[in-house]
Amino acid sequence: MKIFSEELVAQAVKELNIADLASATIGEVLLVAQWLENKTGIPFIRMDQGSPGLPINKYGVEAEIAALDRGVGSQYPAALGIPELKYEASRFVKAFLDVDITPRSCIPTVGSVQGSFGSFIACTQCTPGKDKILFIDPGFPIQKSQLRVIGAGWKEFDIFNYRGDALKVKLEQMLSEGDIAAIVYSNPNNPAWICLDERELAVIGELATKYDVIVIEDLAYFCMDFRKDMGHPFQPPYPPTVARYTDNYILMLSSSKIFSYAGQRIALTCISDKLFERHFPALAQRYKDSGIFGQTLTASILYMITSGCTASTQYAYAEMLRLATEGTINFVEDTREYAIRAQKMKDIFTRNGFHIVYDQDVDQPVGDGFFFTLGYGNLQGGELLKELLYYGVSSISLSTTGSGQQGVRACTSRMKNELYPVMEERMIAFHHDHPIK
């Protein structure tokens, strides 16, 4: 039996001016769930927005308060970032990735959303004729919206059928066309939670060098492949990264998930030293500056967007990175709760007729973590999204992430212990009302 009637959901969609619920954005689904909760008082099981669901890191809070008490709020922060954060960022990258990047090449950004926005601008303007971004999908929908804002184009492909050896053939085909400026992906992946392995990243790095393409690696869920014992400073195993296989890379490290510091909007854009120092005549001509990639990105692009990052938040991030590098904070153990939630949620869904869409990582089952993907029989992704809403469960359609598969993305971050029995009851009803032939 449905929790919310079709008429009530239709009323919500109409009042919120949502054009098509089947292809609704994360924000639109969020609004529908909130509207229905407020209208009826019935709680939703929220699997839509990937907002952290763990307590904020107390060390960051203490460091930020101390910085404000010292008076840092009275001065504009330097565009390049405060020295303390740049230094700790360089140490953190070495400790947890075993990659060398100098402090100069570690630039704070207002979340990785600003990092990708600025990087897209710089990358698509570096070389005449190379003006498109290649998405290894599924991915973060906002990044394509950013390209719409700046008027840049993109190409994409769903990696579902191109794991392992097949990835090289597909990438070579697309890069050989000569118009790709940069490749972007998240690892672990949002929304599928698949993890590109060392062999696949070696292929990406090799082809990035061959075709002179910049790789933008989004590490929002850093070290959160909980199948491996990662997160011990200066000790293997280290997370796989394209930085081992090319000098043409940008790494984005956000504080939002690993330290649950999302509300303060702070991240790092860590650029390979060789790319940071590289001169691009097209950038020099456009911006009337040095044309040095890192300087142009920082002073002529990122600074034009926000004129720097909040000073006190930079001190907070620096302290959290410092303590993690010294081993005082174990951010991997702190975030392992997401894997526990994913396993419990998957069990409920699969017992009631659902299947995991992206279920394999080359030669092993996909891990448990912040996200997972769900399909149900022959239902299209948009249909499944709508049907789940009637049973008080919100999600987003995989089609909005660039996926060619049918299903929805589920986020574990807002799940609470008291909601598991509620979810079980609702999914039993869903399965009863939707028999699979």
pLDDT of residue 1: 83
CATH number for the domain formed by residue range(s) 58-326: 3.40.640.10
- Give tens-digit pLDDT for 275-286: 999 999 999 999
Average pLDDT over residues 98-121: 98
The CATH number of domain 6-42+336-433 is 3.90.1150.100: yes
Average pLDDT value for residue range 216-230: 97
pLDDT at 186 over 90: yes
Asked if residue 339 has pLDDT above 90, the reply is yes
**Is the per-residue pLDDT at 59 higher than 90?**
yes
Residue 26 has pLDDT above 90, yes or no: no
Residue 269 phi, psi dihedral angles, 5° rounding? -110, 105
Q: What is the value of pTM for the model shown?
A: 0.96
pLDDT of residue 87: 98
Count of CB atoms situated within 10 Å of the CB of 336: 16
Q: Residue 141: which pLDDT band, with cuts at 50, 70 and 90? A: very high
The mean pLDDT value of the chain amounts to 96
Predicted confidence at residue 14, as pLDDT, reads 93
158-178 pLDDT, tens digit each: 999 999 999 999 999 999 999
**At residue 25, does pLDDT exceed 90?**
no
Given a cut of 90, whether residue 133 has pLDDT beyond it is yes
The string over 209-247, giving b where at least 16 C-beta atoms fall within 10 Å of a residue's C-beta and e elsewhere, is: eebebbbbbbbbbbbbbbeeebbeeeeeebbbbbbebbe
Average pLDDT over residues 347-353: 98
Answer whether residue 23 shows pLDDT above 90. Answer: no
Q: Supply the pLDDT for residue 236.
A: 96
- Average pLDDT (191-216) is 98
User: What does the alpha-carbon distance between residue 175 and residue 127 come to, in Å, rounded to a whole number?
Assistant: 14
Residue 49 confidence (pLDDT) above 90: no
**pLDDT for the residue numbered 88:** 98
Coil, strand or helix: which one is 223? coil
Question: Hey, is 238 helix, strand or coil?
Answer: coil
Q: For position 198, what pLDDT does the model report? A: 95
- The pLDDT tens digits of the residues spanning 402-420 come to 999 999 999 999 999 999 9
Where exactly are the structural domains of the chain? 6-42+336-433, 58-326
